[in-house]
């Protein structure tokens, strides 16, 4: 019979990793479903036809459609970059002991990922040799560098792991965090533009007696406004949180794990912390 004391705390949701992978696929379908619905409402049903009305309507429609398509392209680019970019793994041959004693450049950056080409900063990803300690992953059966954590969903250790994101069906780590941050930025901007552009139609639902359009189009417009408003508000909070983490050179995992030290050992100052992420692949 299971113990009652720590039963809830001992619950491990990552036993259901297969379900989480399936959930990720569902979330991807949901993302493209929302994008498709939004495109239909904004471009096909509303601002597309208004583009040929002439006068102020045409100018307004042109500006909205230009912003919408520009942000949509950047949103999709950053999304696929986050999905398809390897977050960074640990080579099976990596060993910390010799390099820690000598203080040499770590082979994980110099050989496996090509630190000079990728622009990764060794101290930000691996830490300074003086601050390192031997860390061993029992699941991967190999050593792992500082700031590296094992992802039970991906089944491997991830460099500077932030979290596993079901929305992108991938871990967010050292090599794709920049794209993830850009994805949040463009998602917030795109959903905000859509929300503002559909606001007049949403208000018309409750103020005007008769509204032009088929019942299906009106329902789609209402749902699109609510969805984009919800995403804009939720992503805004998530974006603010991650910007604060970037400025402190901290990952989501480290934010929950680290103690209240007077000085976080990876903090190089807000400017350098921000540059490490934004200029990582320049």
Catalytic residues: 165
Distance CA 73, CA 86 (A): 21
Using only the alpha carbons of the chain, give its radius of gyration. Answer: 23
Half-sphere exposure of 66 (CA within 13 A, CB side): 7
Give 123's contacts (C-beta < 8 A, 6+ positions apart).
266, 268
Distance CA 39, CA 80 (A): 18
Q: What are phi and psi of 263, to 5 degrees?
A: -140, 115
DSSP state for residue 104 in the 8-state scheme = P
E strands within 86-190?
Answer: 136-137, 142-143, 149-151, 156-158, 163-165, 170-172
Distance CA 8, CA 29 (A): 32
Contact 145, 6 (CB under 8 A): no
3-state helix vs strand vs coil in the chain, percent to 5: 60, 5, 35
């Amino acid at each position: 019979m299971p113990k009652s004391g720590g039963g809830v705390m001992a619950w491990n949701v990552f036993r259901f990793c297969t379900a989480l992978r399936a959930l990720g696929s569902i979330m991807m379908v949901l993302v493209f479903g929302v994008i498709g619905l939004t495109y239909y409402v904004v471009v096909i049903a509303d601002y597309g036809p208004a583009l040929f009305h002439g006068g102020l309507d045409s100018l307004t429609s042109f500006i909205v459609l230009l912003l919408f398509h520009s942000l949509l392209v950047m949103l999709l680019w950053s999304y696929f970059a986050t999905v398809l970019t390897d977050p960074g793994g640990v080579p099976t041959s990596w060993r910390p002991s010799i390099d820690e004693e000598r203080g040499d450049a770590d082979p994980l950056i110099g050989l496996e990922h090509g630190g000079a080409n990728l622009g990764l900063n060794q101290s930000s990803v691996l830490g300074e040799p003086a601050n390192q300690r031997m860390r061993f992953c029992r699941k991967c059966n190999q050593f792992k560098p500082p700031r590296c954590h094992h992802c039970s969903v991906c089944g491997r250790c991830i460099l500077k792991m932030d979290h596993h994101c079901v929305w992108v069906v991938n871990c967010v780590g050292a090599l794709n965090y920049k794209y993830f941050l850009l994805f949040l930025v463009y998602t917030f901007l795109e959903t905000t533009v859509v929300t503002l552009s559909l606001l007049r139609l949403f208000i018309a639902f409750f103020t005007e007696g008769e509204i032009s359009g088929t019942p299906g189009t009106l329902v789609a417009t209402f749902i699109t406004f609510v969805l984009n408003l919800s995403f804009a508000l939720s992503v805004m909070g998530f974006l603010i949180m991650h910007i604060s983490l970037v400025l402190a050179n901290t990952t989501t995992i480290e934010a929950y794990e680290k103690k209240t030290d007077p000085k976080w050992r990876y903090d190089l100052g807000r400017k350098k912390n921000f540059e490490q992420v934004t200029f990582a692949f320049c």
